[in-house]
Amino acid sequence: MPEVVIVDYGVGNLHSLGKALERAGARVRVAVGPAEFSDARALVLPGVGAFGKVMEVVRPWADALRARIDAGVPTLAVCVGMQVLYSWGEEGNCAGLGLLGGTVRRMPHPRLPHMAWSPISWTAPRDPVLEGIPDRTHFYFVHSFATPAEEATAGVLGTTLYGKPFVAVARRGAVVATQFHPEKSSDQGARLIGNWVRSIGDSP
């Protein structure tokens, strides 16, 4: 049973994500600060919250967090956890961790937040974390900011349209990031989490 460490930056709803990981076969531990995640073999950056508020908490840990990720530690980032991986966020007008290239921008749609089940178009080739999940599967989104697909520099696994296409899933090395909430996305969300947890067992 792989251990997964959820990084608690004080704004995420950890309970539902933790339960989803446990159902997928992971043992879950919550960490506050680098002293508690420095030995993590798998990391989760949870969703819910605002880019600027999250970075206020994470900024003192940024080097330690980047070091763990750059060391190849499998990482799942959800919603705002995905957003702070990018270079810059308009929400808070501040720098992110810079692990993904691009800017997280306010979405160009008159009705925000984007709170809906929306279909995702997968890019090719299909990533292993998406195994068994059909193209155009609907996942649950709730957000007002995202990275425009046209501005993402690399690693896009899937896009969704709301006003304009935006990045819905991305990968950088051992990091998988979703703008949607897999823990709230029924069977296919559980499948994605299960695929990710199984991949941890395959990692050195």
Residues annotated as catalytic are 79, 181, 183
User: What span, in angstroms and rounded, lies between the C-alpha atoms of 132 and 177?
Assistant: 18
Contact partners, residue 4, CB within 8 Å, separation at least 6: 21, 26, 27, 28, 29, 42, 43, 44, 76, 197, 200
Token pair listed for 141: 């989104």
Token pair listed for 145: 């900011």
Residues 180/137, Cβ–Cβ less than 8 Å: no
Strands 27-31 and 3-7: parallel
The residue type found at 11 is V
